[in-house]
Amino acid sequence: MIHPLPPGTRDVLPTEMRELRALSDRLRVSFEGAGYGEVWTPLVEYEETLRRGDDRAARAGVYRMFDDRGRVLVLRSDMTVSIARLVATRYGGVQPPVRLSYLAHSYRAVERGRGQAREFLQGGLELIGPAGAEGDAEVVSLVLAALEEAGLRRHRIGVGDGSLVRGLLGELEVPEERRGTLLEHLSRRDLVALEVDAEELGLSPGARDLLVAIPTLRGGLEVLDRAEGPVARSAEGLRALYDLLAASGAADRTIFDLGLVRELGYYTGAVFEVYDPAVGFALGGGGRYDELLGRFGTPLPACGIALDIQRVHAAQAAEERLG
């Protein structure tokens, strides 16, 4: 007798569960210790609410249904939009900064047949109030330190500028309907496809060179020196972040990556991805989203990172095998 589970979901048995709890608890202690109090938001939200935050985040929800009054409900695909709603609703009179963390499942659409999880446990934090490099550095340093306390040794953080590519696509007057493909080619670092895109869009040789150069701007501090034209502005912002990260001892773990494109649309500044050489996928990511809280009526700059607990666990296990 076979009792199938919905695609992208699975049972977790005691041995693995014990390890996931231990890892979650350790991250929670690190976050709490730095003043990030844990919150819970309902798993089910009105699609309208999520869409107010970010249309892509609302569309990323894989499970949606009607309530008894015909309104569309979605299982959250992400905690950040819900926390933005929570802060606007419940922290109206509170003087920023507000430091919040979470440890909860989210549900996201994935391509069928790729064996990806649709149900995944996230641990993350949101820093509301501090703007720019100062806020970014706090969040990045804390996540790197928490992962170190969890036993990771070789983890790195990729740092890009979420506003760079979007700004550039605007300046180059790339039509809205072509941007998705272009962003995908950028995130895949597919230089050949980008050359073709540039040709099809009739970009000037200078614009084409700029576009094709972006995905190659990946590495240490020297990457920022190589940045030219509109990219130089982003480099300047990232240099300020680097100085703060260096002061907290995190410089060695930082990889600048100006081609880093995050899938959600609400990022307005620095964007992040967390890596470990032991596993072949990002352990998490995030960025600065200075416009999201304003959409819920409380304009405040903010920044956050979410870790995929299952993937951090895989990295942790790999590190342990390496001794």
Q: Which two tokens stand for residue 122?
A: 């996230």
Contact 296, 53 (CB under 8 A): yes
Residue 267, marked binder: yes
Report the C-alpha gap between 152 and 150 in whole angstroms.
Answer: 6
Find the shortest distance in angstroms from Cβ 38 to its own copies.
5
Min dist. Cβ of residue 121 to its own copies (A) = 9
Q: Pick between residue 8 and residue 269 the one whose CB is nearest to its own copies.
A: 8
CA distance 203 to 28: 48
> Judged by CB, which is closer to its own copies: 33, or 277?
33
Give the nearest distance from C-beta 37 to its own copies in angstroms. 3
Q: What are the residues whose beta carbons fall under 8 Å from the beta carbon of 10, sequence distance 6 or more? A: 117, 119
Is 122 annotated in a binding site? The answer is yes
Token pair recorded at residue 286: 């995030």
Shortest distance in whole angstroms from residue 78 CB to its own copies? 16
Provide, rounded to whole angstroms, the least separation between the CB of residue 313 and its own copies.
13
Residue 35 DSSP one-character state? T
262 among the known binding-site residues?
yes
User: Which amino acid does the sequence have at 126?
Assistant: E
E strands, 115-269, are 119-128, 156-161, 218-219, 254-257
In the three-class reduction of DSSP (H, G, I as helix; E, B as strand; rest coil), residue 274 is classed as strand
CA atoms of 307 and 284, how far apart (whole Å): 4
The answer to whether the annotation marks 80 as part of a ligand binding site is: yes
Asked if residue 108 belongs to a known ligand binding site, the reply is yes
DSSP secondary structure of 47-61: HHHHHHH-HHHHHHB
Shortest Cβ 49–its own copies spacing (Å): 5
Task: Tell me which residues touch its own copies (CB under 8 A).
Answer: 1-6, 9-15, 17-18, 21, 25, 28, 32, 37-46, 49, 52, 63-65, 67-68, 73, 75, 85-86, 88-90, 100, 105, 107, 112, 119, 296-297
What is the C-alpha to C-alpha distance for residues 242 and 245, in angstroms, rounded to an integer? 5
Is 310 annotated for ligand binding?
no
Question: Is 79 annotated in some ligand binding site?
Answer: yes
- Contact, 154 vs 276, CB < 8 A? yes
Name the residue nearer to its own copies (CB basis): 36 or 275: 36
118 is in an annotated binding site: no
Is the Cβ of residue 7 or residue 230 nearer to its own copies in the bound state?
7
Nearer CB in complex with its own copies: 37/220: 37
Task: Report the alpha-carbon distance of residue 307 to residue 116 in Å, rounded.
Answer: 16
Residue number, 40 or 281, with CB nearest to its own copies: 40
Please report, in range form, the residues annotated as the binding site for L-histidine: 78-80, 108, 122, 126, 262, 266-267
Please report, in range form, the residues annotated as the binding site: 78-80, 108, 122, 126, 262, 266-267
